[in-house]
């Protein structure tokens, strides 16, 4: 399935250009779409990208939110090391549109990335993650199912109880933010 980008209003000035740049530098077409909602606006980003140049180098050419979006797109890179590196650039950013990128990583197979998110959970903005969790219950449920599947397939011996798996702990923390926090902006 071909990726069809959708950006919240705040990302539209530079999001399409960035996707065009990544697409032009990719070894394969961008396929697959991750869909979510951010403050009532549709947001669709690539499931995976195969960009040849170093995304951190591309990010260095941008400033502010354009740089953050480049790093966020880097969390969709085919190489787990690049995903992890890019995650550290966005993990505690106070932008609503960062949450879907971070949560999406919890439903993937690289446990070191889940551990990094778990280690930073107390520095995540609860209002941002609470709003995201409440607004995207299907996204959260799908991510949880994927985390359980990866735990079952690859990490069951290491973490006997799936609730001890780092991705599950981080997901539970985000879900609790959503259940416990009333968003004053609504």
> How confident is the model at residue 186, as a pLDDT?
47
Number of residues that this document lists for the chain: 186
> How confident is the model at residue 58, as a pLDDT?
74
> How confident is the model at residue 181, as a pLDDT?
54
> How confident is the model at residue 182, as a pLDDT?
52
> How confident is the model at residue 28, as a pLDDT?
85
Report the interhelical angle of 166-180 vs 111-119 (nearest 10°). 40
Say how far apart CA 149 and CA 155 lie, in whole Å: 10
pLDDT tens digits in sequence order for the chain, 186 residues long: 778 899 999 999 999 999 988 888 888 888 899 999 999 999 999 999 988 766 667 777 778 999 999 999 999 999 999 999 999 999 999 999 999 999 999 999 999 999 999 999 999 999 999 999 999 999 999 999 999 999 999 999 999 999 999 999 999 999 999 777 554 554
> How confident is the model at residue 60, as a pLDDT?
75
3-class secondary structure for 98-138? HHHHHHHHCCCCCHHHHHHHHHCHHHCCHHHHHHHHHHCHH
Q: Transcribe 150-162 into DSSP letters.
A: HIIIIITTTSSSG
> How confident is the model at residue 164, as a pLDDT?
97
> How confident is the model at residue 26, as a pLDDT?
81
Locus of tokens 């923390």: 173
Say how many C-beta atoms besides its own lie within 10 A of residue 185's C-beta: 7
> How confident is the model at residue 62, as a pLDDT?
79
> How confident is the model at residue 31, as a pLDDT?
80
Q: What is the pTM of this model?
A: 0.92
Tokens of 57: 């180098």
Q: Transcribe 46-96 into DSSP letters.
A: EEEB-B-S-HHHHHTTS-HHHHHHHHHHHTTBSSHHHHHHHHHHHTT---G
């Amino acid at each position: 399935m071909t990726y069809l980008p959708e950006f919240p209003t705040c990302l539209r000035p530079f999001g399409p250009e960035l996707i065009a740049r990544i697409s032009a530098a990719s070894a394969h077409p961008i396929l697959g779409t991750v869909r979510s909602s951010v403050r009532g606006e549709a947001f669709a980003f690539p499931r995976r990208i195969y960009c040849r140049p170093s995304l951190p180098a591309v990010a260095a050419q941008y400033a502010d939110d354009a740089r953050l979006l480049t790093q966020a797109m880097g969390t969709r890179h085919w190489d787990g090391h690049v995903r992890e590196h890019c995650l550290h650039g966005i993990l505690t950013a106070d932008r609503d549109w960062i949450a879907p990128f971070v949560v999406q990583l919890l439903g993937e197979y690289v446990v070191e990335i889940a551990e990094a998110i778990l280690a930073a959970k107390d520095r995540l903005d609860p209002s941002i993650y609470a709003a995201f969790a409440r607004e995207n219950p299907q996204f959260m449920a799908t991510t949880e199912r994927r985390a359980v599947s990866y735990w079952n397939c690859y990490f069951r011996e290491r973490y006997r109880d799936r609730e001890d798996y780092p991705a599950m702990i981080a997901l539970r923390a985000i879900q609790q933010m959503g259940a416990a926090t009333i968003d004053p902006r609504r």
